[in-house]
Structure 1
Amino acid sequence: MDVLEGLDPEQRAVAEAVRGPVCVLAGAGTGKTRAITHRIAYAVHSGVIEPHSVLAVTFTTRAAGELKQRLRLLGAPGVQARTFHAAALRQLSYFWPRVIGGDPPQVIESKLPLLIEASRDLRRNADRGELRDVAAEIEWAKVTQIGPEDYPTAAAKARRTPPIAPEEVARLYEGYEDLRRRRNLIDFETILELTAAVMTEHREVAAQIRQQYRYFVVDEFQDVNPLQKLLLDTWLGGRDDLCVVGDPNQTIYSFTGATPQYLTGFAVEHPSASVIRLVRDYRSTPQVVTLANRVMARSPHRLELLAQRPDGPEPVLTEYDDEEAEALGVALTVKKLMADGVPAREIAVLFRINAQSGAYEQAFGEAGVPYLLRGAERFFDRPEVRQAVVLLRGAARSAGGAEPLAPAVHAILSGIGLTAEPPGGGRAREKWESLKALADLAEDLAADGADLTGFVAELERRAMEQHAPPVEGVTLASLHAAKGLEWDAVFLVGLTEGMLPIIYAETPEQIEEERRLLYVGVTRAREHLHMSWALARSPGGRRSRRPSRFLEGLSHQLPAPAVKAGRRSERTAGRRPAVPLHCRVCGKTLAAAPEQKLGRCAGCPADYDEALLESLRSWRSAAAKESKVPPYVVFTDVTLQAIAERVPTTEADLLAIAGIGRVKLERYGEAVMELCRAAGDSSVTGVTDE
């Protein structure tokens, strides 16, 4: 096997640099995983190293699994690829009985339970949301080697914004650590700290680990924090057979303690290091690559990417009047892409903070677009997936793997909710999508000759590596959660000042990290890239927002139609222009969204048919149950109130109510108008429900 075949010149240079120190500066989409796996395989095949003496370190279990899979295909199956925490825990668990004695401490997955207890001990109200933010502060302090007593000063120096007073965080931090130690528990940071300490204090342990691992590769080196660097240096023990890979322009986790300084300063720390740059972008079209280069034009560590793919469509920048119009416009554009053949799973909508997802969940639900939220529950942790795996495992044991794979899997999954057609939405749709993903994976493996036993083994391997099968649905995710992923089409939304850069980014360093976040978002797109912003928060609201400063110098270099597409004169069909709305009772201009929906001031008297409102509520409950969505997805309470007050009997009447567009008109209009007509007839004849 020629493991160097098919590599470009820069990737080949990485593969042939079989001895460290080596620093690979790899731009987005340049094939860094390909380069480092071929480097390891080439070193193994040429006899430079033994597979078992390699430790490849990654930041996610899935990335570690991908490395191992690629290395198996390259003929180097014995290489260890693990996350920092997995590698350290394995070593700590092995040596603990020998050098400490007794059973190793129990690992806690979350700091929250202990923080709740510490908060109660301090007689504080235990607000879970607040304590989650405190947990993040404690994690930052621990990875930067800051104790409770030094936290307030260090937090002020780092210009952090803790959820409560720094002194309160310090007290909770101290209480948390006290509870953890007394109960012989360790968290993820303590795993790294203790492993380094055991190696430092017990020379025989350090000697055995260093004898085992002689060859180190660290991926995503720009995300390494001080505690991880301490452990890495302890593993190395003064040796320099180390290859690091990363992109300083994708440093977006400094709030967790990550720093690109170890990557950018690698050649200073290791003067004999080979520094190789990967700049050929195989992921994105020239149009996307050009825009990505412009975003980072001022970066001191800029890597000028060179596109290798054929031409594609120009990126689209769109301005909307308000957030509701932006969400609707994105939903309709997504539907068009899907109609043109782009699979839903190859489309993503990315935003700065998770709170922005709500508008897109509602817009996609109304438009009938399947979606999934990334960063919520991991695929193999979902109840329906766990149930399916248990049933499949039992079927494999009883059948001995003799049954044809696809029919057997379909029969089992049909018993727990897989139907021929998907349900309308909500949790039922999410469950269906999970089961459908398992069924599709079974179809794929059946084509390769797998049986039920092999399918279960593959599921167990994927669960261990968190390698989920693709779920059919548009991905909704934060920009941070999207790092390391890619899609055919990407929508970057909410690109306004105060959101990107986020309002609390104040220092030049913080502003530049926000710019890098946009760069990460842009480089997730293979072909279609849409960027948008809204001038107001709600329909009819004050149009005071400004597009992100990071878009300056981008829009005028794009074709004029791309920028004009979102102007009011060329709105998507069915979207109303933003014109002032007035109270139908007193004539005052309405600013608040609920008042605009009602068509009157909140304090003005309302005249409506209570029986009609009750009928509308009953109908909404039935419609929501049928579609398997929450009632508010059908219509909000305010919208029902507005309908009861205005009694619309024509499409024009319904569309005149703020918040009701073409999609809801087509889906629910006839039923609503029928109820309103019936109410009108009852009032004329004097018939009531009583």
Structure 2
Amino acid sequence: MTTVPHLLDALDPEQRTVATQVTGPLAVLAGAGTGKTRAITYRLAYGVQQGAYDQQSVLAVTFTARAAMEMRHRLSSLGVPGIQSRTFHAAALRQLSYFWPQAIGGDVPEIAKHKASLLSAACNRLGISIDKQLIRDFAAEVEWAKVSMIDPYDYPQVIAEQHRVVPGNLDATTMADLLKVYESVKTEAGRIDFEDVLLLMVGIMQENDLIARQIRHQYRHFVVDEFQDVSPLQYELLNQWLGGRHDICVVGDVAQTIYSFTGATPKYLVNFESDHPGARRVELNRNYRSTPQIVSLANQVLRVKNNGAVGTDLPVGSVKLVSQRDSGPAVNFRSFETDEAEATEVASYVKQLISEGTKPEDIAILFRTNAQSEAFENALSELGISYTVKGGERFFERPEIRQAVGTIRRLGELSRKVLEPGSQDLIQTIKDVVGPLGWAEEAPKAAGAVRERWESLDALVVLAYAKQHLTIAEFARELDERANAQLAPELASVTLSSLHAAKGLEWETVILAGISEGLVPISMAETPAEIEEEKRLLYVGVTRARTRLLITYARSRGAGRVQKRRVSRFLSQMWPELPGQQSGTAPGRRTNVAKSKKTAAAEELTELEKIIFEALREWRKDEAEERSVPAFVIFSDSTLIDIAKAQPRTLVQLRVIRGVGATKLEAFGTPVLRLVKKLRSEWEEK
């Protein structure tokens, strides 16, 4: 086990504060890329070392099986493998399976993996016409209602209060009837769904004090990751586990709340101290992932108001990031005439990066809707660039991988019976397994299905190199654990992903594509809360990038389409493109005409005006650094020249100058007037 001093030495001051408060209520506001998982895993290891609690008394709750697996690996490396790290559903299902005979009797009902057949039967009973897409929408609404703990009888009223759109053009009363009939059909089939796992455990703990005491005796200390994504149902289960106690550490980022449509709400993170009096709140704001240029844009996006104006304050509960990395390339902005041109140029940019040495797996193209993926798939295929669509066919469900894993599993069983540990060369064994399935030392030159098959199998070989210290049996267990967590080995291909699916991931180079009005924010977002969430979604996309970030949009869907798009309101104030700039012009590059006009205007200033202009530029530089934004976001040079010429004495006089809007007047008006007055007075005294 790592020693205590070494544990703390590996942390920054704020992370160390988190790690050393091992008991009592603690809320950690962790901005993107600030090392939250490191902080909480080191906290748990430190707490065990200090004797604050036993490993078996801790439950660490995550939102994905992938995150739970990663946490288990980290805890094991820190010498505390006994701490349980599970998702809400996994922890609840484990408890339900154990206590069901005692609480209910008999075996736990079968869990329906999908709701489609049950909902189809319910729709048939109600005479509702359906198709595959509508069934998915109904399933999502059922899940939202259940995790939001909304009774079908209360559904119409809640829908009206929240102005929520009912799927399938149903009225709220009919949807409420569907919720009721779905439950009846499910009960008649003797099955439960995933939401029932949590609901049943809440009910059992509320009604059976003996079982509740057993669970609370087992788990006395809790850590909950991604706390901004907790639903009312998950929060109720957590409260049942706690039983009025306050030994809980929660970690989250309000700015990354992007799943409210599934019932997630940041209110429990924002109001944590109200539920846990005396709680401590710690901010992690040192971003270790992204360059200052990317972090600056991320902070600026959070400040944008719903109408596109740039505010001065971050939303409540958000963290202002401070990059810990050296300066990197400027954020790149590009616009194109059509969707096709955008996809073609983005693919060319990717090819250029790869030719310059960037690994394909270090590049991601992110977009708002899955429908946008096809254009980029086609453009990448045209250039022979391999790609993986996140959310598409799962790695461990591919036929060649299922066949390979089955063989590896059988070899693992055999090795435990007849072979000495370590007597097999893992790498060679895996090569022998995948060779007959389509793998060779050299990759196929052509793109297509053969290449995709090779890349899948090659990922197993690469993983074997990384895990060569394992036996074949241990490697088989590693694959099973990865399959359960859907944690695929890294493929040597470019990632295509929706912004939602990209949360929790990161790449060296990220391309945010299609960032225009109607897509970001999506046209369906109408309420202030929905538009605010779209802004957070863009923030998540920006903070996925480590070193390079390219943001693009197309001005129309295609040739002959009259609809013209505008850049997203969340970027309109930061977009460096001039009106009339040609498609593909390097972002931020001003035309020679624009440069000459600005230079001529500066040369025409009087001596005093030049002094004021230069002083304003220095002030702007300091202000931009303080706010972590590009200088032009404060005021353009042209606006500073006009201010130097006008030398305004009042806010009203300053307001009429081009480039000084109401928002900037409120934020910068007083210091600008004060500086102009000071310089004018000094000049007059000479």
Class of the TM-score when normalised by the shorter of the 2 chains: 0.7 to 0.9
Please list, as runs of the form range in 1=range in 2, the aligned pairs for 1:125-164 lying within 5 A after superposition: 125-164=129-168
Equivalent residue for 1:542, pick from 562, 568, 571: 562
Tell me if structure 2 keeps the 8 A contact 1:316–1:530.
Answer: yes
Which one-letter code corresponds to 1:441 in the other structure?
L
Q: Kindly indicate whether the alpha-carbon contact (under 8 Å) linking 2:216 and 2:243 is maintained by their aligned counterparts in 1.
A: yes
The answer to whether the 8 A contact 1:318-1:566 is kept is no
Q: Corresponding residue for 1:258?
A: 264
1:407 aligns to what SS in structure 2? helix
Alpha-carbon distance between aligned partners in 1 of 2:269 and 2:128, rounded to the nearest angstrom = 42
Counterpart residue number, 1:348: 364
Give the direction of change, closer, same or farther, for the CA distance of 1:144–1:487 in structure 2 (3 Å limit): same
Offset of 1:316 from its aligned partner? Answer: 0.5
Shift of 1:540: 4.1
* Post-superposition CA distance 1:176-230 (Å, at most 9, x none): 1111112221111111111011011000000000000000000000000000000
**How far apart, in 1, do the equivalents of 2:540 and 2:584 lie?**
32
Whole-Å separation in 1 of the counterparts to 2:377 and 2:98: 47
Residue matched to 1:484: 504
Match for residue 378 of structure 2 among 350, 354, 362:
362
CA separation in 2, counterparts of 1:331 and 1:308? 31
TM-score, structure 2 as length reference: 0.80
The match for 2:439 among 396, 400, 418 is 418
CA–CA distance in 1 between the matches of 2:53 and 2:581?
A: 58
Q: State the match for 1:409 in structure 2.
A: 430
Q: Give a deviation string over 1:479-500, Cα, whole Å, max 9, x none.
A: 0000000000001011111110
| 8 Å CA contact 2:334, 2:584 repeated in 1 | no
Residues 335 and 584 in structure 2, CA contact (< 8 A), matched pair in contact too: no
- SS of alignment partner, residue 45 of structure 2: helix
* Aligned partners of 2:298 and 2:542 also within 8 Å: yes
Residue of structure 2 equivalent to 1:213: 219
Could you tell me how far apart the structure 1 residues matched to 2:586 and 2:542 are?
24
Structure-2 separation of matches of 1:289 and 1:358: 30
The answer to whether the aligner puts 1:442 opposite 2:458 as a matched pair is: no
Match of 2:192 in 1: 186
Give the CA deviation at 1:426: 4.5
Would you say the 8 A contact 1:402–1:452 is kept in 2?
Answer: no
Per-residue deviation, 1:126? 3.3
Greater displacement, 111-120 / 23-32: 111-120
Go from structure 1 to structure 2 and tell me whether the alpha carbon gap of 1:231 and 1:154 turns closer, same or farther (over 3 Å shift).
same
2:494 corresponds to which of 461, 474, 477: 474
Report the Cα offset of residue 106 of structure 1.
Answer: 1.2
What does residue 670 of structure 2 align with?
A: none
Q: Please show how residues 648-667 of structure 1 align to structure 2 within 5 Å.
A: none
Aligned length: 565
| Normalised TM-score (structure 1) | 0.79
1:57-68 maps to which residues of 2 (within 5 A)? 57-68=61-72
1:125/1:89 Cα in 2 relative to 1: closer, same or farther (>3 Å)?
Answer: same
Question: Separation in 2 of the partners of 1:423 and 1:111?
Answer: 43
Pairwise CA distance, 1:24: 0.2
1:94 aligns with 2:98: yes
- 234, 249, 264: which is aligned to 1:243? 249
Aligned to 1:295: 301
Q: Tell me whether 1:328 sits opposite 2:371 in the alignment.
A: no
Which residue identity does 2:21 align to in structure 1? A
CA gap of 1:221–1:195, structure 2 versus 1, over 3 A, is: same
Q: Among the aligned pairs, what percent are the same residue?
A: 50
Give the superposition deviation at 1:405: 2.1
**Distance in 2 of aligned mates of 1:159 and 1:429:** 49
Distance 2:545 2:585 in 1: 25
Q: Partner letter of residue 501 of structure 2? A: A
Distance in 2 between residues matched to 1:385 and 1:311, nearest whole Å = 41
The answer for the alignment partner of 2:634 in structure 1 is none
Q: Which residue of 2 aligns with 1:274?
A: 280
Q: CA deviation at 1:105?
A: 1.3
Residue matched to 2:553: 533
For 1:649, the equivalent position in structure 2 comes to none
Question: What residue in structure 1 maps to residue 542 of structure 2?
Answer: 522
Secondary structure of the 2:366 match is: strand
Aligned partner of 2:322 in structure 1 is 306
Counterpart code for 1:71: L
Are 1:508 and 2:524 counterparts? Answer: no
CA deviation string 1:29-49 (max 9, x = no partner) = 000000000111111000000
Displacement of 1:569 in angstroms is: 6.9
1:605-642 Cα shifts (integer Å, max 9, x gaps): xxxxxxxxxxxxxxxxxxxxxxxxxxxxxxxxxxxxxx
Q: Secondary structure in 2 aligned to 1:304?
A: coil
Distance, in Å, in 2 between the alignment partners of 1:94 and 1:239 is 23
Structure 2: how far apart are the matches of 1:144 and 1:174? 16
The match for 1:459 is 479
Distance in 2 between residues matched to 1:111 and 1:547, nearest whole Å: 39
Cα gap change, 1:569/1:472 in structure 2, threshold over 3 Å: closer, same or farther? closer
How far the C-alpha of 1:157 sits from its partner, in A, is 2.4
User: For residues 565-584 of structure 1, what are the structure 2 equivalents within 5 Å?
Assistant: 567-568=582-583, 570=585
1:122 partnered with 2:126:
yes
What letter is aligned with 2:382? E
Identify which range, 149-158 or 475-484, moves more after superposition: 149-158
Match for 1:439: what amino acid?
A: V
| Alpha-carbon distance between aligned partners in 2 of 1:569 and 1:65, rounded to the nearest angstrom | 43
Letter in 1 for 2:522: I
Q: Distance in 2 between matches of 1:564 and 1:199?
A: 62
SS of the residue 2:429 aligns to: helix
What is the CA–CA distance in structure 2 between the aligned matches of 1:269 and 1:248, rounded to whole Å? 17
Q: Matches of 1:239 and 1:569 in 2, distance apart?
A: 59
Q: 1:427 deviation in Å?
A: 4.3
Per-residue CA deviation, residues 548-579 of structure 1 (Å, 9 max, x unaligned), is 000022124xxx7xx8998337489xxxxxxx
For 1:323 and 1:404, locate their aligned partners in 2 and report how far apart those are by CA, in whole Å: 50
| SS state at 1:539 partner | coil
Q: 1:160 to 1:23 in 2, by over 3 A?
A: same
Tell me the amino acid that sits aligned with residue 541 of structure 1: R
SS of the residue 1:296 aligns to: helix
Letter in structure 1 aligned against 2:431:
H
1:339 & 1:168 partners in 2: Cα distance?
A: 57
Q: CA deviation at 1:119?
A: 2.1
Q: Give the aligned partner of residue 233 of structure 1.
A: 239
| Secondary structure in 1 matching 2:437 | coil
Q: Does the aligned pair in 1 maintain the 2:63–2:88 contact within 8 Å? A: yes
Give the 3 Å change call, closer, same or farther, for CA 150–431 of structure 1 in structure 2.
farther
More deviation, 236-245/546-555: 546-555
Ranges in structure 1 where 5+ consecutive residues have no aligned partner: 573-690
Gapped runs of 5+ residues in structure 2?
Answer: 304-310, 588-686
Structure 2 CA distance for aligned equivalents of residues 17 and 552 of structure 1: 43
**Cα distance, 1:251 vs structure 2:** 0.4
